[in-house]
Each structure stands twice: as C-alpha cells, then as structure tokens.
Amino acid sequence: MIRENLTAVVARNERWSGVSGTEPYEAGWATEAVIFVRALAIERGPDAAADVLPPTARVQVSADGMRWIDEGTVFPMPQSTEHDTCARIARFGNWLRVVTELPTGVAMKVLVTLHLK
Amino acid sequence: MNSELLQALRLADPRLSRFDPLRRIIAFDDFDRGFCGWTQLVGNYEHTLDAMLPGYAQHTQAMLSTLPTWDFGSHGSVDGSYALKLASRPRKGAQNVTLKRLTFRERGPIRVEFYFTFKPEASEMKLSETDVRSIGFLYDLQGGDQDEGAAADRVMPHLRFLNALDGEHLQKWQFKRRTKTFHPIGTENKTVSHYHLSPDDWEDLPGGQQRLCYNEIPTKVNWHYACLDFDLATMQATAFRVNDRRFDMSGFEPIRIPAMRNLWCMLNLCFFVETDVDKRAFLFLDSVCLSGEF
C-alpha cells in the first residue's frame, strides 16, 4: 500500500494575539512532520513597540493531548505576509501543536499546515 | 452475479460482513487504511478568507486516532488501531465537520452504514455524559443538470443525535427541514453561503429517543452501528437503524432549496460533532460503507 501523506490545515485565518496556538492534532501514524506557518495579515497597534523582537514559534508534544511540553524545536514566526516559515520534526509520538507568544500590540491572522508522512 | 452469491461472498469477508451494503459499494472506508477521502468542510469565500461565515471558519482537519486515553492508553477501533476523529474546539456550541465529496451515477436507493462513538475530552475525572451536545450526519445532494423543476433541487437530509443541551441529557434523534438565510459571498455574484448546521430548526424524529451505551468513565467507549437508507429518485429517507432500533422515517423531511449553479449530481456525505460545554467534543468513525442499488 502506498505511504500515507497528509496536508492538514490546523489553523486557517485564525487571529492570534498574545499566547496562541493550534488545536491539538494526533499524528501518531506519521514518522515526520513539516510545519508551515503563513501570515495572512499582520496587525500592529499603536501600543506595539517599534523595536520588538521577532517572535518565535515552539513545537509542543503531549502524552494525552491536554498537558503539553516543549518538543525543543523553535522557529521564527513570519515577519511579513510574503515570507512563510517552517520547521521539520520527527519522533514526536502522537500529539502535536504549535504555540507562540505575540508581543503586545501585535496580532496575526495565520494559516498553519502540518505535512505528515 | 445473483444476489445470494453476492451476499455469501460479502458475509465471508470479515471486512464487509458487519455491513449490509446494497448491490454496488460506492465507497468502503475503513480508517485503518488512512483518511479514505475524508477532508474538512471549508466554508465558501471569495477574494479573502474573511468572507467565510463564522460557523465554517471554526472547522479543522479530522485526524487518524487510536483513541488514546490518559488513563489506559490507546483504545483502538472496531477491528484495528485507527478511527477517524473529529474534534470540536473547547468552546460551548463549537462544531466541526468532516466530509467526502462525490457525485452520483444513478438516481436510486443509496445506503450509508457506519460504526461510530463519541466522547468529550477527558479533562475532568467525572462521567461527563452531558458534555457532548450532538453528533450527526447529512447528505448534500442536488439533481442532475438535465433535471427540471423540483427534481433538480438541492436536498440536504440531516440527522443528529442530540445527546444533551445546556446540561440536560436528552438522547434523541432529530432532523432538520429548514436552513438559514443565504448570504452572498464576495463581489462577483457567483458564490453564496448558508450555515445549515446552526443550532436552530432541529425537530424531534418521532419515536427517536434512544439511550446509547456511553460506558462508565469519560475514557471508555463502545462502538455503535448506524444505517440510513435514502432514495435519490424521490429524495426521501426510507429507513434508519441504530444498533437494535429501527426508526419510523415517515415524518422525516430533508432541507430542500432551489438548485445551485455548480452542484449538479452532487453526493456529499458529512459527519459533525458539537460540544455543549467549554470542552472539546470528539466523534470517532471506525468505518463508513456507502452503497447503491444499481
């Protein structure tokens, strides 16, 4: 049988601000995942600091889909709507999610996809 | 091939002997083989995703799950490791939908059979039997491009098991014959959208009370069998079975709306789940068999 291969859109046009992340996703059948994050829109409010550091995203894993710990992979969040970012991971067990913390005054509409095989 | 031989062959096949398909199997989806063409229901949009109705914007991708539990590990499916899992978000009233998009060849009887179970996320150590509001399924159908008048209508038979509402354990099957207002999408006058899974307009199926096996803690599940017979010629439901119960469908009506410009011969099959509390609700499908009498 041909190998399973899935593109899963796990966040579509979701407006993220502050601590945000994707819904828990089970992918125990897969041995590897590539995670893409695309910014569909970036909002900077008047209270956003001009010299704010680029935020990063963290991959998290879980034993039960409810209690989460950092997997160790950290990658940039997109800095514009033109430049997507990605991370490649393996040996993640079953549960996966991506979390980030956007700086005060900054919000993003994101498209997050998992590419699993 | 005569029907007795066909029946004998299917009964001898362990994969099919727990189904009663009509003559032609249109799709036999056992999620131990993967996603089998089940995807997420994305709402209509034009120019921007912001145009999508909020009911659709909340939808996410179904997943292949071993029904893992924090207290005893993977539960597994009926005859293997994996089931298709549909999860709502953890917000009261949140819904999610998975579907398969086909078209039909013959306007005659079709039958969908499936093994299913549902549970809330086991985030509390209590029974939680009223946390899942509903699970259900629907067809989204439309007549052929040469059909005229009502024969060309878009027809959407909906059935849901209303497990609980606002904490009350109701446990009954319902149907829906009305849908919500159509909203134009975008600026090119080519796309509209309506959220037919809104909480409104559900009606009780006469005699549709049913106490399904839920088990005794929030992580144990038992699988249920369901079967709906529908006639594409008359666009009427003809029979509905769940486990040992057979329901009278004479009072059932589907949603009927005028034909739309791009949906000829559409045969979509959708499953959905809805939570009654700020906790994720899960619908699990072990397998789905869609068959037709042609």
The CA distance from A115 to the nearest CA of chain B, in Å, is 12
| Residue B11 phi, psi dihedral angles, 5° rounding | -65, -25
User: How many residues in total does chain A contain?
Assistant: 117
Looking at chain A, the whole-number percentage of residues with pLDDT higher than 70 is: 96
| More confident site: B205 or A44 | B205
pLDDT of residue A51: 66
Q: Is the pLDDT of residue B246 over 90?
A: yes
Q: Mind listing the pLDDT tens digit for each residue in B268-288?
A: 999 999 999 999 999 999 999
Q: What is the DSSP letter of B32?
A: G
| Residue B31 phi, psi dihedral angles, 5° rounding | -75, 5
- A28 and B66 within 8 Å at the Cβ level: the answer is yes
- A94 and B68 within 8 Å at the Cβ level: the answer is yes
Looking at chain B, the whole-number percentage of residues with pLDDT higher than 90 is: 86
The CA distance from A28 to the nearest CA of chain B, in Å, is 8
- CB of B87 within 8 A of CB of B60? yes
Q: Which A residues 76-105 touch B at CB under 8 Å?
A: 94
The CA distance from B42 to the nearest CA of chain A, in Å, is 9
pLDDT of residue B119: 98
**Which residue does chain A place closest to B73, by CA atoms?**
A64
User: Which residue of B50, B60, B91 is the best one to mutate when testing the A interface, meaning the one whose CB has the most A CBs within 10 A?
Assistant: B60
Buried b (16+ CB within 10 A) or exposed e, A8-21: bbbbbbbebeeebb
Alpha carbon distances (Å) from B126 to A36, A67, B150, B212 = 37, 18, 50, 18
Residue A93 banded pLDDT, cuts 50, 70, 90:
very high
Nearest to B57 among A13, A23, A24 (CB): A13
Contacts of B121 in chain A (CB under 8 A): 65-66
What is d(CA B282, CA B232) in angstroms, rounded to the nearest whole number? 30
Domain ranges of chain A: 6-116
Question: Encoding tokens for residue B165?
Answer: 């509402």
- CB of B263 within 8 A of CB of B143? no
Nearest to B65 among A8, A11, A26 (CB): A26
Lowest mean pLDDT among A50-64, B237-251, B280-294: A50-64
| Residue B283 phi, psi dihedral angles, 5° rounding | -110, 130
Lowest mean pLDDT among A75-89, B40-54, B109-123, B272-286: B40-54
- A8 and B63 within 8 Å at the Cβ level: the answer is yes
Contacts of B82 in chain A (CB under 8 A): 29
What is d(CA B49, CA B36) in angstroms, rounded to the nearest whole number? 27
Lowest mean pLDDT among A34-38, B27-31, B118-122, B178-182: B178-182
Query: Looking at the complex, does the CB of residue A25 fall below 8 Å from at least one CB of chain B?
Result: yes
- A64 and B52 within 8 Å at the Cβ level: the answer is no
pLDDT of residue A75: 97
pLDDT of residue A26: 98
Q: Mind listing the pLDDT tens digit for each residue in B65-75?
A: 999 999 999 99
Query: Looking at the complex, does the CB of residue A24 fall below 8 Å from at least one CB of chain B?
Result: yes
Determine the topology of domain A6-116 in CATH. Jelly Rolls (2.60.120)
Instruction: For residue B183, give every residue at least 6 positions away whose Cβ sits within 8 Å of its Cβ, in sequence order, or none.
Output: B53, B192, B193, B194
- A24 and B33 within 8 Å at the Cβ level: the answer is no
pLDDT of residue B221: 97
pLDDT of residue A2: 87
Q: Is the pLDDT of residue B202 over 90?
A: yes
The predicted model gives B10-31 an average pLDDT of 96
What is d(CA B86, CA A49) in angstroms, rounded to the nearest whole number? 40
The predicted model gives A79-102 an average pLDDT of 96
| Residue B205 phi, psi dihedral angles, 5° rounding | -75, 125
Helix (H) or strand (E) holding B11: helix B3-12
**Which residue does chain B place closest to A7, by CA atoms?**
B61
Question: Encoding tokens for residue B159?
Answer: 């059935």
- B49 and A6 within 8 Å at the Cβ level: the answer is no
pLDDT of residue B186: 83
pLDDT of residue B208: 97
pLDDT of residue B193: 83
Partners of B156 in the β-ladder: B255
Helix (H) or strand (E) holding B10: helix B3-12
Q: All domains of chain B, ordered by start, with CATH?
A: 22-292 (2.60.120.200)
Helix (H) or strand (E) holding B116: strand B109-120
What is d(CA B76, CA B60) in angstroms, rounded to the nearest whole number? 22
Query: Looking at the complex, does the CB of residue A5 fall below 8 Å from at least one CB of chain B?
Result: no
Give Cα B264 distance to the centre of its chain: 21
pLDDT of residue B73: 96
| Residue A92 phi, psi dihedral angles, 5° rounding | -105, 5
pTM over 0.90: yes
What is d(CA B62, CA A84) in angstroms, rounded to the nearest whole number? 24
Compute the C-alpha angle A96/A100/A103, nearest 5°: 175
The CA distance from B259 to the nearest CA of chain A, in Å, is 29
What is d(CA A67, CA A75) in angstroms, rounded to the nearest whole number? 21
The predicted model gives B138-165 an average pLDDT of 97
Task: Kindly report the average pLDDT of chain B as a whole number.
Answer: 95
pLDDT of residue A53: 63
